[in-house]
Amino acid sequence: MKERIGIFGKKNSVVKYNLDTQESLWIADLPHGHSPKAIAQYEDFLIVIDQNWLGTKNVSCFSESKGNLLWRYRYNFLCGWGLYFNPIFLGDHIFFKSGATDFTKLCCKTGTIIFKRNIKPKKFFSFHAYEIMLVGESLIAYSNKEIRKIDIETGFTEVDKDLTEKFNVNGVTANLGNGVSFISSISSLNQQFEDEAAAASSGGGAGAS
């Protein structure tokens, strides 16, 4: 019978726990006063988003098997204002949207930022926000005007004329590429709802009649 293993986050730490033997397999420390808000796993990479009562957030990556910290960044260093960290895993790398029109490629093992690219050069009076998604082994970016192919190795993009002409991207409100993206999206979405609920609560019911 396969052992029942769970990973739990609480203030100041993340714990891998064997529910059958009732013992901790490892305990990973978080910065003092920080509590996990979202946890997602891909292979041996455990991504944790933690936050303290002041609202300071980090994105940390641990080894799921050993519990050692692989890398950690301040949340707002990776993502621009108003964006939620939504990693797409491909091999030993993470791709994620880091701005309205840009995205980042990061090494899961070392935390090294491979590149940060603009999806499309910005022009005056022309500003489109893009979403990125993994479809099979292809990475694409889409706005309400076009679909662009992303070169996974270099990050450079070009318009996919065939997809842009045949698929109507206008009005798309959510996307799902593959199972790995699905796991990460749910974790990020849960955190998003919690943050929005906390913000509404701290507002003292402003706007209520």
pLDDT in tens, the chain (209 residues): 788 999 999 999 999 999 999 999 999 999 999 999 999 999 999 999 999 999 899 999 999 999 999 999 999 999 887 788 888 998 899 999 998 888 999 999 999 999 999 887 666 555 567 889 898 888 999 988 889 999 999 999 999 999 899 998 888 888 888 877 777 777 777 777 777 777 777 765 544 44
For the segment(s) 5-200, the CATH number from 3.40.190.10, 2.30.30.100, 2.40.128.630, 3.30.360.10 is: 2.40.128.630
Please tell me the predicted confidence (pLDDT) of residue 57.
93
Query: How do 102-107 and 5-10 pair as beta strands?
Result: unpaired
Please tell me the predicted confidence (pLDDT) of residue 138.
87
Please tell me the predicted confidence (pLDDT) of residue 207.
47
Please tell me the predicted confidence (pLDDT) of residue 72.
97
User: Starting from the edge strand earliest in sequence, which strands make up the sheet with 113-118, in order?
Assistant: 88-90, 93-97, 102-107, 113-118
Query: How do 102-107 and 113-118 pair as beta strands?
Result: antiparallel
- pTM, to two decimals: 0.84
CA dihedral 190, 62, 57, 112 (to 10 degrees): -120
Q: Where are the domains of the chain?
A: 5-200
